[in-house]
Amino acid sequence: GQSLEQPSEVTAVEGAIVQINCTYQTSGFYGLSWYQQHDGGAPTFLSYNALDGLEETGRFSSFLSRSDSYGYLLLQELQMKDSASYFCALDNYGQNFVFGPGTRLSVLP
Amino acid sequence: DGGITQSPKYLFRKEGQNVTLSCEQNLNHDAMYWYRQDPGQGLRLIYYSQIVNDFQKGDIAEGYSVSREKKESFPLTVTSAQKNPTAFYLCASSIGKGQETQYFGPGTRLLVL
């Protein structure tokens, strides 16, 4: 089967940079996705890494290393509105997606 | 505007009752998914469908059933066999195999009376 691990909570101050890590176990996959979910809301797509390396989308970047079974989401210039839960998810060869347990990010003023 | 709609927003179930959660999408997506989310937890896959008239069980399918008679609709029935149904239910869709982005509906919160 597939499994993912993430830190349960991360705290940072406004304007700072924070990295949310994701380690996984799988026999194979297409790519690693990241989603953001505010309390009571639906997850929204942030980024996808099909290949090793860094993908940048505005203030958010995501990284994947298949050899290390590891990825991370990097959030720069943190804003209060970035306080949310962040999930990594494995793309299981396009069949379905397996989500990690989520990391709750708290941004302090 | 294209998107995914779920109804109702809140649903109450009595003991021994089956309830059906609606999910509709007008994105012309082939694939649709149902997830369950418990407080403070991640998303667990209940059922998914890659094409009309076909669907597969996810990790926690017991006590649930689905149908996919139309491309745009993927209703989920929570049966009386599901003994602990209180959760947040999320429906999602994607273009299809190999497509990396899932679009989520607003969710239905199911509570047991």
Mean pLDDT, residues B13-42: 93
Report the gap between the CA of B11 and the closest CA in chain A (Å).
Answer: 15
pLDDT value at position A98?
Answer: 92
Q: Which of B97, B98, B105 sits opposite A42 (nearest CB)?
A: B105
Q: Is the pLDDT of residue B57 over 70?
A: yes
- Burial of A63 (C-beta count, 10 Å sphere; 0-12/13-18/19+): buried
SS3 per residue for chain A: CCEEECCCEEEEECCCCEEEEEEEECCCCCEEEEEEECCCCCCEEEEEECCCEEEEECCEEEEEECCCCEEEEEECCCCHHHCEEEEEEEEECCCEEEECCCEEEEEEC
Six-digit token string for B21:
């959660």
Q: How confident is the model at residue B112 (pLDDT cuts 50, 70, 90)?
A: confident
Strand order in the sheet with B76-78: B4-7, B19-25, B76-78, B64-66
Compute CA B93 distance to the chain's CA centroid, rounded to the nearest angstrom: 10
pLDDT digits 0-9 by tens, B73-94 = 999 999 988 889 999 999 999 9
Counting runs of H as helices and runs of E as strands, what totals does chain B give?
0, 11
Q: Classify the C-alpha dihedral B75-B85-A38-A1 as positive or negative.
A: negative
d(Cα A40, Cα A29) in Å, to the nearest integer?
A: 30
Chain B CA closest to residue A30: B98
Six-digit token string for B1:
């505007």
Please report the number of interchain residue pairs, chain A to chain B, with beta-carbon separation below 8 angstroms: 56
Q: How confident is the model at residue A94 (pLDDT cuts 50, 70, 90)?
A: confident
Residue with tokens 């089967």: A1
B58 near A CB under 8 A: yes
Are A97 and B102 a contacting pair at CB < 8 A? Answer: yes
pLDDT digits 0-9 by tens, A79-89 = 999 999 999 99
pLDDT digits 0-9 by tens, B96-107 = 766 678 999 999
At residue A55, what is the residue type?
E
Tell me the average pLDDT of chain A: 95
Are B104 and A98 a contacting pair at CB < 8 A? Answer: no
Q: Is the pLDDT of residue B1 over 70?
A: no
